[in-house]
Structure 1
Amino acid sequence: MSSHPEADHRRRVMLRTAMGPAITEALADPSVIEVMVNPDGALRLDRLGEGRVDTDVHMHPSEAERIIRLVASHVRAEAHADNPIVSAELPSGERFEGLLPPVVLAPCFAIRKPAAKVYTLADYVAERIMLPLQADALKKAVR
């Protein structure tokens, strides 16, 4: 971000406005961990405890492309057929990955929110998701 808080705020507002109410609301929902717009224009959410869910929202390809180009501009990059992949961190800390043709049939993107909680191996063992033996093996493997 720049050293100009007012300009940064305007950029954040512009990005959220371009994303529209459905995406903005999803990003504000603590149960949503990822927002995706696929090449078919369908808005899908990844929710804690539910997995991926369809919404009734569809985005026109031109809207998805506008968002991808706006995010690219935010990180001082360009998005076009010769540079069709946009990876960025949004002002609120979300990770953005946008794709344009020719690498996809139609513009699409995903926005992954920062982890609300970091789970330790001990948490996985306590929740019986992982056996203590498995946790120990992972600890040894990453030393």
Structure 2
Amino acid sequence: MLRLLIAFPMILMATSAHAIKCRNAKSILYMQDRYCPAGYTADATAPGGTVSVVGKSAPVVQQESEFLQRRATENNQYQVQIAHSQAVEAQQQTSNATLCSSLASRARSLESAMRQPNSPQWLDNLKQQHRSIRDAQYRNKC
């Protein structure tokens, strides 16, 4: 009787699992379940074949864990680089904002000076200054 109780679970574990072939317009899936997922249709009417589960050897598991550890450290380094570049960009944007506002006020003062009666030579000078300020605004993405 004891042998029967021990043998019965072993028989259940030793039975092979069945696989079903599910087909989509572009791909084929082999499922252990009796039903195909949404979008797939069963290729064979009766499930057949066996699905084998092969365990990984110790070196393969070790290689995978080393790879995942390397990937995690690279990801952490990358996150540090991203945080540093974002901090530099934020600092640059704040300094750029003050530069842009000073350039805009200088351009407005030159525009008002150009509306005043001036000699042709002074007007050309004001236009050149105004053009250089607008170029600086463009370079600094104001």
Instruction: Give the TM-score band, short-chain normalised.
Output: under 0.3
Q: Which structure exhibits the higher relative contact order, with contacts defined as CA atoms closer than 8 Å and separated by 6 or more residues?
A: 1
Q: Which has the larger radius of gyration?
A: 2
More helix by share: 2
TM score, norm. by length of structure 2: 0.24
Q: Which has the higher strand share?
A: 1
